[in-house]
Amino acid sequence: MAEIDNLHVYVLGTAGAGKSKLTAAAKLWMTNQGFDAITVNLDPGAESLPYDPDVDIRDWVRLSDVMEQYELGPNGAQVAAADMLALNAPEIKEIIGGYRADYVLLDTPGQIELWLFRESGKFLTEFLAPGESALCYLLDPFLAKEPSGFVSQMMLAATAQFRFQLPLLNLLSKSDLVGKEDLARVLGWMDDTDTLYDELTRQVGMYHELNLSMLRVLRELGTYTRLTPVSGQTMEGLEDVYSFLQNSFAGGEDIESGVEPPERRDGRDGP
């Protein structure tokens, strides 16, 4: 049976996609299943969190302090703070390793462009756990309900996968707040790209051809994968996230030796 300590799971998404809420729910779900999981806040600008982080980047870097010390506005301070994360990488790694947790849930900054395109994000990801990391990309459901918003978010997810070269699972966040018809429509686009293509062709505007081109690129590159509905409120989809991690790193076997997967503990057949 494969055993992996400190499997790092990065929760990515645009501002307001529900990253912190899902991180909190994932920690609770893992704990309820008998797994040892810790949470890591990587957002130096977070004012409040729905969980008590085991490791908090704000112990080293706070956005308000960066603004005051370097006389920067919010945007400039975000860039500077993002680069400062890398400077504290050795100490962060040492503290995380000291927990010897099965899962390390990392809540990334709300400004996804800083994490994706600043070199500090890539460096930190590779430094903390090379080869033992995965990405969970949260699509904002209120943006994803429109074909153009759906395609643009899928393109960001594909960018994250190419940028970090790590296993990635696309998640439709806040599924409990999405109407059944909208949910079925969005999920249907994953199975039937022709329908999505037809809906895009009916849209008008200056970005019409750009949206169509992005969809073609996603299809040709093969990055158009499944989309899993999740909810930080109801914990829907967290078992699917768990299964994704097992299939990616342990061949479907449980990461923690001696603990059966939850679908087996409740009497059902495993995957």
pLDDT digits (tens, 9 = 90+) for 15-24: 999 999 999 9
Strands 7-13 and 103-107: parallel
Which DSSP state fits 140?
Answer: P
Task: Give the CA angle between residues 244, 246, 247 to the nearest 5°.
Answer: 65
Could you tell me the domains of the chain? 7-257 (3.40.50.300)
Of 12, 39, 14, the closest CA to residue 25 belongs to 39
Cβ atoms of 24 and 51 within 8 Å: the answer is yes
pLDDT digits (tens, 9 = 90+) for 47-99: 999 999 999 999 999 999 999 999 999 989 999 998 898 899 999 999 999 99
CA atoms 261, 265, 266, 271: torsion sign: positive
Gap between the Cα atoms of 161 and 166, Å rounded: 6
Name the range with the highest mean pLDDT among 129-143, 144-158, 187-201.
Answer: 129-143
CA atoms 59, 92, 63, 9: torsion sign: negative
pLDDT band at 254 (very low <50, low <70, confident <90, very high): low
Gap between the Cα atoms of 4 and 110, Å rounded: 28
pLDDT digits (tens, 9 = 90+) for 208-246: 566 667 667 666 665 556 799 999 999 999 999 999 999
Exposed e or buried b per residue across 99-113, where buried means at least 16 C-beta atoms within 10 angstroms of its C-beta: bebbbbbbbbbbbbe
Contacts of residue 156, Cβ cutoff 8 Å, sequence gap at least 6? 14, 112, 116, 137
